Amino acid sequence: MPAAEFAAFLRELKDRSGLSYGVLAKRLHMSTSTLHRYCNGDAVPTDYAPVERLARLCKAGPEELVELHRRWVLADAARRRRPEPAVAETPGKDTEPPAEAELPAVGAPEAEGEPRPRPGPRPRRRTRTAVLAGTAVAAVVVGVTLAVGLPDGGRDGGTDGGGRKGSVGAAGVEGKDVTPSPSLFASPSASPSASAPGAKGKDASSPPAPRASAAPDARARDRGDRGVPLTVHTDPYAWDDPCGQRYLVNRPASEVKPPPLQPDATAWISSFGAVSSGEQYVQLTVQGTSDRTVVVEGLSVRVAGKRSPLPWNDFVMGYPGVGCGGNVPTRSFTVALDAARPAVTPEAGHRNFPFSVSESDPEVYYITADASAYDVSWYLELKWSSGNRSGTLTVDDKGRPFRTSGNNGRPAYEFPLGSEEWVPEGTTM
């Protein structure tokens, strides 16, 4: 495929340069997610100019430039031959899909927009319905009568080996949860196994409370009875570059306060209900709870939902031209959230999992997750092992999924140094 060959050549140049996607994207004046899509073969640039700039930043030689141009021409021609999907437009209205228009959930039983068959008229069975209803009422009355008649408020008075009284039908009542779980992303990894101590009489489909040894922002399943031997502290709004972070806010620029300093970023984000724009920089600090070594075997991504990008205003943190430019820490990883199956991938030249931690030897991981085409809710699962024990920690934003939205085409604003208001991005020198 021409697009795949073109993308492979771009990846080769990018990996050889030793520069991260974030650094290259900043120098090319494009979003990190867009560069990801070019290098993954998900998109082909419509213009060769950014391709050539990328190649020169990666120190491509003359022959490589010629070969890259040849592959781009073939990939662009193939892209033009592909039929464009028909898009229904409403005259006089913005053709962009509304923010609340969600894509079908993964594993949904039917496609979006597919008409459901209308049920036919039901036969009239009033007599049978009345008999069944009467029987149900009688059963309830008898049950209540028996409960009242039993000693100790409905208990049978019997005791177990420890002298505790047992409830009649308690297991049957507690075994069903008629209230939907508030979690948007309940995961099997967050549920205890059937043989876990204390699991009897509880709904295995409901997410358990975190163990006392786990961090507040991580939920765990441990194949053992001694607690999770490590903790994970999550900073979902870390900054790798004082000028590189962007947030979408559903307010006009006149109602948004100036960009905060990094220590105040979380409070600023919370006060405006802001959502990470284009990419999100998450910092994980993993530490053992004892001197015993724990092996961090890997990180995986779970997507809780994908929707159309938020149609909000885009605000750039920091002040243009002041202190911009970041580095790439040792344990750096990227996640392309637009992909069908996002994966945690190490930056070029960096080690991949596994790593080991203990109480005296923690590890810090930096994950840059980018999104361009969707508004994505997601979380991480950290797999660990220690001796004959193993388990999985669900890492999120204090019980909620991380959230990163694409920002293509959104009105963007910056706050120049010495200014008193936000101005459209690119209007200042």
Q: Which has the closest alpha carbon to 27: 66, 63, 56, 60?
A: 56
pLDDT at 241 over 50: yes
pLDDT tens digits for range 47-97:
888 888 888 888 888 888 888 988 988 888 888 776 544 444 444 444 444
Does the pTM surpass 0.85? The reply is no
Largest CA distance in the chain: 94
Residues 6+ apart with CB under 8 A from 427: none
What pLDDT, on the 0 to 100 scale, is given for residue 181? 38
Residue pLDDT, tens place only, 272-322: 999 999 999 999 999 999 999 999 999 999 999 999 999 999 999 876 554
pLDDT for 250 equals: 97
For residues 272 and 373, what is the distance between their CA atoms, to the nearest angstrom?
23
Statement: residue 135 has pLDDT above 60: no
Categorize the per-residue pLDDT at 239 as very low, low, confident or very high, splitting at 50, 70 and 90.
confident
Q: What's the mean per-residue pLDDT of the chain? A: 73
- Name the residue among 312, 241, 280, 273 with its Cα closest to residue 402: 280
Residue with the larger pLDDT of the pair 147 and 6: 6
In contact, 33 and 371? CB cutoff 8 Å: yes
Which is it for strands 355-357 and 313-316: parallel, antiparallel or unpaired? unpaired
Is residue 323 scored above 60 in pLDDT? no
- Convert the pLDDT of each residue in 342-382 to its tens digit: 999 998 888 999 999 999 999 999 999 999 999 999 999 99
Q: Is the peptide bond before 424 cis (omega within 30 degrees of 0)?
A: no
**Is residue 326 pLDDT above 70, yes or no?**
no
What confidence score (pLDDT) does residue 245 get? Answer: 87
Question: From residue 252, how far is each of 260, 314, 404, 413 by CA, in Å?
Answer: 17, 10, 20, 10
- What tens digit of pLDDT does each residue of 158-211 get? 434 344 433 333 333 333 333 333 333 333 333 333 333 333 333 333 334 433
Residue spans of the domains in the chain: they are: 2-81, 218-424
pLDDT in tens, 15-44: 888 888 888 887 787 888 788 888 988 888
Residue 351 carries which DSSP code?
P
At residue 99, the pLDDT reads 43
Q: Does domain 2-81 have CATH number 3.40.50.1820?
A: no
Share of the chain above pLDDT 90, in %: 37
pLDDT over 80 at 230, yes or no:
yes
At 215-226, the pLDDT tens digits run 446 666 655 446
Q: For residue 385, what pLDDT band results from cuts at 50, 70 and 90?
A: very high
Which residue, among 327, 414, 335, has the nearest Cα to 18 in the 3D structure? 327
